[in-house]
């Protein structure tokens, strides 16, 4: 079972509205990467929208997400888990 790490996810160009996430990779290669995440704040995401995923080690990449309908953390309101899928390499941003 892959390790759980902490990162962030946000819309491209909107780092101010980043949400902390706990994520787990299933596949990471030069051609693409995918896994699942759970937001640490009460936030809902739209299926199919593009986001930027920032990883624990500072790398980031563009990904698309989809809600996992069979994975809900019991709370009020409920917290959903999401699949993410990115293409290309994860890179550290140049500042």
Question: For residue 20, is it within any domain?
Answer: yes
35: which DSSP letter? Answer: E
Instruction: Give the position of tokens 């995440």.
Output: 37
Instruction: In whole angstroms, give the CA distance from residue 56 to residue 88.
Output: 18
Residue range 8-22, pLDDT digits in tens: 998 887 777 889 999
pTM, to two decimals: 0.82
Predicted confidence at residue 73, as pLDDT, reads 63
Question: For residue 92, is it within any domain?
Answer: no
Predicted confidence at residue 43, as pLDDT, reads 78
Question: For residue 30, is it within any domain?
Answer: yes
Say yes or no to pLDDT of 78 above 70: yes
Predicted confidence at residue 84, as pLDDT, reads 94
Instruction: In whole angstroms, give the CA distance from residue 54 to residue 57.
Output: 8
Other Cβ atoms within 10 Å of 15 Cβ, number:
11
Instruction: In whole angstroms, give the CA distance from residue 43 to residue 95.
Output: 28
Question: For residue 66, is it within any domain?
Answer: yes
Residue range 24-74, pLDDT digits in tens: 999 888 788 999 999 988 777 888 889 999 999 999 999 999 988 766 566
- Tell me how many domains the chain contains: 1
Question: For residue 61, is it within any domain?
Answer: yes
Other Cβ atoms within 10 Å of 19 Cβ, number:
16
For 50, the domain range is 5-87
Question: For residue 24, is it within any domain?
Answer: yes
């Amino acid at each position: 079972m892959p390790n759980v790490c902490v990162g962030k996810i946000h819309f491209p160009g909107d780092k101010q509205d980043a949400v902390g996430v706990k994520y787990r990779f299933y596949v990471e290669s030069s051609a693409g990467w995918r896994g699942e995440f759970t937001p640490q704040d009460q936030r809902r995401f739209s299926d199919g929208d593009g986001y930027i995923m920032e990883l624990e080690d500072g790398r980031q990449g563009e990904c698309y997400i989809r809600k996992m309908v069979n994975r809900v953390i019991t709370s009020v309101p409920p917290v959903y888990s999401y699949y993410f899928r990115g293409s290309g390499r994860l890179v550290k941003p140049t500042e």
